[in-house]
Amino acid sequence: RFGKITVQIPQFERGILYGEVVPMHNLTPYLQWRSWPLIILCGLLFGWALLASRMAKTV
């Protein structure tokens, strides 16, 4: 049922397709977390770069 073709129209023919659409029950990872993982990763990379540049100046 999920991911399977249940009804179809013959190729190169016009027509109206009637069938059942099964809605999703769960949220996708993006809808659940939005951009927070990317924002956190960018913040960590920025902090690491800042720390590395300060340590390079003291050596």
pLDDT tens track, the chain, 59 positions:
567 888 999 999 999 999 988 787 889 899 999 999 999 999 999 999 999 999 998 87
Q: Can you give the residue ranges of every domain in the chain?
A: 29-58
Q: What is the pLDDT of residue 25?
A: 83
Q: What pTM was estimated for this model as a whole? A: 0.55
Instruction: Please tell me the distance from the alpha carbon of residue 35 to that of residue 33, in angstroms, as a whole number.
Output: 6
Q: What is the pLDDT of residue 10?
A: 95
Q: What is the pLDDT of residue 24?
A: 79
Task: Say which residue the tokens 């990763």 belong to.
Answer: 41
